[in-house]
């Protein structure tokens, strides 16, 4: 069974769950009518099914490699990227003034998720460019925008972001890369960066790097960091890629997965760059790129989960093994295989719904500037990122289990999903950091944004009591339990909050997932979505109780042991 883009699921979620209609009702996104959105999803689905999905295995089997200082990409990737660029998919959400489609982030997120399911390694290339486009739109000078944005949006040039250094991972403020003013509007950037996704390729005319560096005399920590645009080739007087800049790819990382995506060690030796944003404003500018990248990474997790589910389902419908309780004669009639497949489908759908809820909040913030939407988007972002990527890992591993022994054999392709998605829980801020952000910065309002969402969940559950009481009541009760824990959490110190941060985020996602499934059951009670909703609410939602108990367990059991006792 080849990959099939779940276009119907996106349309259903848009229409019945996440409220895309309110986004379209704004002046900013009025042109994204249902007809337009449907056509975009359909065309993107064809691209994913016919162009990208066939590149999934070749990228894994024939990785990108470094040849005489140039990255050589996997077979077929150049043509695949060309199809993405020529279809306008790089600039989906970009400003139409520079050639973008100006689509809502909600629609963009759906397309990116489909691309991730089809071929995550290749999808990373346009995702990196999309993040850079957004950062330049918000922070770059007009001259930089006019030169770089049209070429990035068209896909003629590609973009990256350079944060991490060997000694400065999550602690970005510890970076040592430096920039010196050349006195002519340019800067000389020197330093080494690691883990640079798509730091080079052999199919775009230029690669544009956003690099964090520190000016002489700048204060320590994140406040002293500035952001610089450093192209692989310096544009000539006509705006075309000109002479090579003083930078190079030192090596490619040898990774457990994502073999088709070159992850580079970059060296800058007085490379020419241009400042983006204000001096010392590097982190603010980079976070413009990173916040939506976090939603994008959550979508990557959901996309891989979808791909792994479809792969496992095809195997289960074909594999004959043992006596079954059904009449197909294949392993899909075994109760435990059905449990795994139902779990995979239910978890993927819940994570997809949460990600799209977050995207709608981002779109409404963009369109209205309403601080309530901004707070909602801020709260949902770490949940969408962490839960989406956790589910990607869990579903991919479950897909291996559905395959049995054959899942451990690389030729079946099941293991690739698990290897490829593993890094998503790490990059753009580890999921532990996402959870800490949720219980600290995102709770500085005393839990107001969280309670507004819980109000909506409980109101929807109340409305469903008459028609679906067995599903509505558990969702209402779970929401109320989450509210009580939230009220307790905001009264705690940071160490206690951090000790319970990961289970709290997971519990919040569980309840949000229950809401997504309940609303789906309301709209499709007798269909497959209603049946999957019943499975999620009856079997998976109850997990929230143990998670909330962990949240309130305090920090004594974590900090009661000395470092020496850990090794005892």
DSSP 73: P
Domain locations in the chain as residue ranges: 7-151, 159-282, 431-557
Q: What is the pLDDT of residue 160?
A: 95
pLDDT digits (tens, 9 = 90+) for 452-497: 999 999 999 999 999 999 999 999 999 999 999 999 999 999 999 9
Q: Return the sign of the alpha-carbon dihedral for residues 388, 389, 394, 397.
A: positive
> Within 13 Å, how many C-alpha atoms sit on residue 566's CB side?
7
Q: Return the sign of the alpha-carbon dihedral for residues 168, 169, 170, 175.
A: positive
Q: What is the pLDDT of residue 1?
A: 58
Q: What is the pLDDT of residue 14?
A: 97
Write out residues in the chain with pLDDT < 70, as ranges. Answer: 1, 169-170
Q: What angle do CA 519, 525, 529 make, to 5 degrees?
A: 70
DSSP string, 365-405: HHHH--HHHHHHHHHHHHHHHHHHHHHHHHHHHHHHHHHGG
Distance in angstroms (rounded) separating the CA atoms of residues 408 and 41: 34
Fold of 431-557: 1.20.120
Distance in angstroms (rounded) separating the CA atoms of residues 382 and 425: 11
Distance in angstroms (rounded) separating the CA atoms of residues 258 and 163: 20
Decide: helix, strand or coil at residue 559.
Answer: helix
Catalogue the active-site residues.
428
Q: What is the pLDDT of residue 458?
A: 98
DSSP string, 462-522: HHHTTT-HHHHHHHHHHHHHHHHHHHHHTTS-HHHHHHTHHHHHHHHHHHHHHHHHHHHHH
Q: What is the pLDDT of residue 168?
A: 72
CATH number of 159-282: 2.40.110.20
Which phi-psi region, left, alpha or beta, contains residue 409 (left: φ > 0; alpha: ψ -120 to 50)? beta
Domains 159-282 and 431-557 alike in fold: no
Q: What is the pLDDT of residue 132?
A: 94
Q: What is the pLDDT of residue 188?
A: 98
Q: Which CATH superfamily is domain 7-151 in?
A: Acyl-CoA dehydrogenase/oxidase, N-terminal domain (1.10.540.10)
The model carries a pTM of 0.95
């Amino acid at each position: 069974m080849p990959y099939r883009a779940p276009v119907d699921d996106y349309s259903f979620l848009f229409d019945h769950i996440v409220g895309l209609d309110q986004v379209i009702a704004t002046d900013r996104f009025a042109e994204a009518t249902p007809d337009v959105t449907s056509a975009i999803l359909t065309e993107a689905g064809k691209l994913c099914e016919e162009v990208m999905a066939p590149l999934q295995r070749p990228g894994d089997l024939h990785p990108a490699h470094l040849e005489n200082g140039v990255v050589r990409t996997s077979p077929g990737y150049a043509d695949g990227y060309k199809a993405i660029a020529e279809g306008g998919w790089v600039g989906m959400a970009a400003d139409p003034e520079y050639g973008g489609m100006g689509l809502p982030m909600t629609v963009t997120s759906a397309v990116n998720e489909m691309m991730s399911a089809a071929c995550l390694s290749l999808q990373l290339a346009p995702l990196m460019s999309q993040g850079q486009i957004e950062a330049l739109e918000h922070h770059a000078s007009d001259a930089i925008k006019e030169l770089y944005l049209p070429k990035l949006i068209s896909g003629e040039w590609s973009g990256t972001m350079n944060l991490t250094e060997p000694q400065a991972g999550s602690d970005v403020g510890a970076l040592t890369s430096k920039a010196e003013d050349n006195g002519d509007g340019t800067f000389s950037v020197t330093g080494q960066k690691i883990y640079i996704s798509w730091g080079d390729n052999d199919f775009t005319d230029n690669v544009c790097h956003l690099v964090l560096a520190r000016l002489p005399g700048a204060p320590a920590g994140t406040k002293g960091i500035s952001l610089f645009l450093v192209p692989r080739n310096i544009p000539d007087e006509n705006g075309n890629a000109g002479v090579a800049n003083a930078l190079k790819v030192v090596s490619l990382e040898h990774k457990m997965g994502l073999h088709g995506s070159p992850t580079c060690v970059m060296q800058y030796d007085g490379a020419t760059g241009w400042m983006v944003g204000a001096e010392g404003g590097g982190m603010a500018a980079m976070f413009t790129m990173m916040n939506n990248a976090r939603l994008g990474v959550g979508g990557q997790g959901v996309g891989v989960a979808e791909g792994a589910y479809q792969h496992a389902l095809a195997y289960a419908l074909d594999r004959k093994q043992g006596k079954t309780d059904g009449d197909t004669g294949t392993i899909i009639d075994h109760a435990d295989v059905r449990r795994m497949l139902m779990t995979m489908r239910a978890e993927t759908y819940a994570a997809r719904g949460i990600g799209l809820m977050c995207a709608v909040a981002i779109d409404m913030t963009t369109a209205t500037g309403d601080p309530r939407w901004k707070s909602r988007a801020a709260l949902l972002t770490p949940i969408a990122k962490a839960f989406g990527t956790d589910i990607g890992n869990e579903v991919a591993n479950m897909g291996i289990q559905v395959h049995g022994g054959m899942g451990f054999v690389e030729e079946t392709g099941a293991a690739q999903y698990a290897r490829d998605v593993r890094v998503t829980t790490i990059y753009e801020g580890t999921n532990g950091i996402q959870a800490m952000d949720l219980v600290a910065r995102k709770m500085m309002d005393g839990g107001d944004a969280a309670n507004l969402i819980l109000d909506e969940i409980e109101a929807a559950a109340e409305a469903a009591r008459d028609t679906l009481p067995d599903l509505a009541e558990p969702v209402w009760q779970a929401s109320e339990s989450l509210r009580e824990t939230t009220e307790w959490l905001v009264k705690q110190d940071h160490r206690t909050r951090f000790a319970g941060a990961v289970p709290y985020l997971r519990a919040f996602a569980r309840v949000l997932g229950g809401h997504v499934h309940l609303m789906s059951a309301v709209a499709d009670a007798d269909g497959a979505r209603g049946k999957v909703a019943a499975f999620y609410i009856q079997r998976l939602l109850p997990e929230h109780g143990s998670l909330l108990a962990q949240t309130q367990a305090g920090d004594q059991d974590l900090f009661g042991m000395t470092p020496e006792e850990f090794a005892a």
